Amino acid sequence: MNAPFRPQPLTPGPQGAANETGYMPGFGNGFETEALPGALPIGRNSPQRCPYGLYAEQLSGSPFTAPRATNERSWLYRIRPTVAHWGAFTKVDAGLWRTAPAAEVDLPLAPLRWDPIPLPEGPVSFLEGIRTITTAGDAGSQTGMGTHVYLVTRSMVDEYFYNADGEMLFVPQQGALRIATEFGIIDIAPGEIAVIPRGVKIRVEIPGGPARGYLCENYGGAFTLPERGPIGANCMANQRDFLTPVAAYEDRDAPSSMVVKWGGNLWRTELAHSPLDVVAWHGNYAPYKYDLRRYSPVGPILFDHADPSIFTVMTSPSETPGTANIDFVLFSDRWLVGENTFRPPWYHMNVMSEFMGLVEGVYDAKTGGGFVPGGFSLHNCMLPHGPDMAAFEAASNAELKPHKLEGTMAFMLETRLPQRVTRYAAEAPQFQRDYAGYGAGLRKHFNPNQR
């Protein structure tokens, strides 16, 4: 039996012109929002006494001294400072959540793919339902990422969580999530994504029933928008389509627990009240959501297949220019018009490691079945891959009139670092043991006598 969904009352912020939906548009803006009139101190961060008897607290997402372009912090005006939500912590079982470095198994070199992991029967909260598939880099040195599938059949009730190891990118595949955060409420459904920065407290609820999706834990540089270069000022992901919630707070006294992920471990403390008690905040370090259907793809309009970087939604930079800690890349509806062009992805080997998931539809490099919504694949550093036989044969012989890819949404988490598969993923019944050999089906067409 699934635990019933018990929504908890939140006090929504003022619904002004800019935030009729409960969100404020823009990427990386310096936002200001208050759920009670006058709760936000004006012109200063730390007045002697804050309005309404609130405490002021700064949450730093970058070193204080980071250059302006990457400097991130917010000021939170809250009922209690976080340190007052702080009891004795005990370490709790992290379940199937793994953190880099985690070299658990050595799978033979191969392209790897999995069927969707089914939702469990019993009650499973977001924290209990995380299944790590791959890890890369080292969370302790703030590089790399973890890729996970989340399976949620019950809402968190009086349970809270924050992640000190990384920011979290949610990619729902089935069912909606309500992420109640310190900064306000974020609702997302398949086709949308949300990013919860490192250190932001949340409670994850499932307003519409069980939910499944992908989660990227980014241990490195915060996700930002990629440069557009000669593309110019528009298209791809546009700043105005990113939405940050207006302030919403809970003044709730109830026995509660808070779990903190820190150094790869989960620690729990008991609280007597909700830590989602931020009445007003301002700053540029805040959670946000984005509707992937607003992404405006740019691509080749005469011939050839461009590198997938053209479809980058967001990037987590490393210290090396152009060498991402993570690129989050979207393959969504678009027209294919290339003349005399093999239109699907080409065969390739890549120094970056490619984790892929499918939200809906068919991915154009894998038309032979096997890569289905909810499934995922890993094409690791310098391992060859490309279209399956069905995709190759169809694309080599297709009439090249303009063709629209529709009802499709695949994504890639591409990292400069090799990815390690977890024991869970290697031993999962959903692991497709026969996928490794898909390349052997590609027939020899060579004929030296025929050009």
Ligand X SMILES: O=C(O)Cc1cc(O)ccc1O
**Which of these segments, 89-97, 204-212, 249-257, 350-358, binds Fe ion (CB under 5 A)?**
350-358
Q: Would you give the DSSP letter of residue 4?
A: P
- For 85, phi and psi rounded to 5 degrees? -95, 30
Choosing from 85, 148, 282, 305, which is the catalytic residue? 305
Q: Which two tokens stand for residue 173?
A: 């595949």
Among 365, 409, 413, 425, binds ligand X (CB under 6 A): 365
Report how far residue 192's alpha carbon sits from residue 290's, in angstroms, rounded to the nearest whole number.
Answer: 6
Instruction: Return the sign of the alpha-carbon dihedral for residues 171, 297, 380, 70.
Output: negative
Q: Which two tokens stand for residue 122?
A: 């019993």
**Which of these segments, 141-149, 185-193, 348-356, 430-438, binds Fe ion (CB under 5 A)?**
348-356
Q: Which residue is nearest to ligand X (CB)?
A: 345
- What is the distance, to the nearest Å, from the Cα of residue 394 to the centroid of all Cα atoms in its chain? 33
User: Does residue 388 touch ligand X according to CB under 6 A?
Assistant: no
Q: Are 205 and 129 in contact (CB under 8 A)?
A: no
Cis peptide before 101 (omega within 30 of 0): yes
The mark string for 399-418 relative to ligand X (x by CB under 6 A, - otherwise) is: -------------x------
Site for Fe ion, residues 182 to 221, rule: CB under 5 A: none
Beta carbon of residue 349, minimum distance to Fe ion (angstroms, whole number) = 9
Nearby residues of 44 by Cβ (< 8 Å), 6 or more positions away? none
Site for ligand X, residues 289 to 308, rule: CB under 6 A: 308
Beta carbon of residue 244, minimum distance to Fe ion (angstroms, whole number) = 32
Instruction: Pick between residue 354 and residue 388 the one whose CB is nearest to Fe ion.
Output: 354
Q: How many residues bind Fe ion (CB under 5 A)?
A: 1
**Which of these segments, 52-60, 77-85, 160-168, 345-353, binds ligand X (CB under 6 A)?**
345-353
Beta carbon of residue 137, minimum distance to ligand X (angstroms, whole number) = 20
Instruction: Pick between residue 383 and residue 426 the one whose CB is nearest to ligand X.
Output: 383
The answer to whether 348 is a known ligand-binding residue is yes
Beta carbon of residue 384, minimum distance to ligand X (angstroms, whole number) = 10
User: Does residue 354 touch ligand X according to CB under 6 A?
Assistant: yes
Instruction: Pick between residue 69 and residue 351 the one whose CB is nearest to Fe ion.
Output: 351
The H helix count followed by the E strand count for the chain is 2, 26
- What is the distance, to the nearest Å, from the Cα of residue 257 to the centroid of all Cα atoms in its chain? 25
Report how far residue 115's alpha carbon sits from residue 296's, in angstroms, rounded to the nearest whole number.
Answer: 29
Instruction: Pick between residue 359 and residue 412 the one whose CB is nearest to Fe ion.
Output: 412
Among 354, 364, 388, 414, binds Fe ion (CB under 5 A): 354
Report how far residue 144's alpha carbon sits from residue 139's, in angstroms, rounded to the nearest whole number.
Answer: 7
User: Does residue 165 touch Fe ion according to CB under 5 A?
Assistant: no
Among residues 352, 325, 349, 356, the alpha carbon closest in space to that of 418 is found at 352
Instruction: Pick between residue 97 and residue 411 the one whose CB is nearest to ligand X.
Output: 411
User: Does residue 182 touch ligand X according to CB under 6 A?
Assistant: no
Q: Are 181 and 129 in contact (CB under 8 A)?
A: no
The option from Fe ion, ligand X, none interacting with 412 (CB < 5 to 8 A, set by class) reads ligand X
The answer to whether 85 is a known ligand-binding residue is no
- Is position 148 annotated as part of the catalytic site? no
The answer to whether 379 is a known ligand-binding residue is no
Nearby residues of 364 by Cβ (< 8 Å), 6 or more positions away? 331, 336, 343, 344, 345, 387, 391, 395, 405, 408
State the SS3 of 349-376.
Answer: CCCCEEEEEEEECCCCCCCCCCCCCCCE
Among residues 203, 201, 171, the alpha carbon closest in space to that of 188 is found at 171
Among 22, 146, 345, 374, binds ligand X (CB under 6 A): 345
- H or E element in which residue 358 lies: strand 353-360
List interacting residues with Fe ion (CB under 5 A).
Answer: 354
- Which residues are part of a known binding site for Fe cation? 348, 354, 385, 403
List interacting residues with ligand X (CB under 6 A).
Answer: 308, 345, 348, 350, 354, 365, 379, 385, 412
Catalytic residue IDs: 305
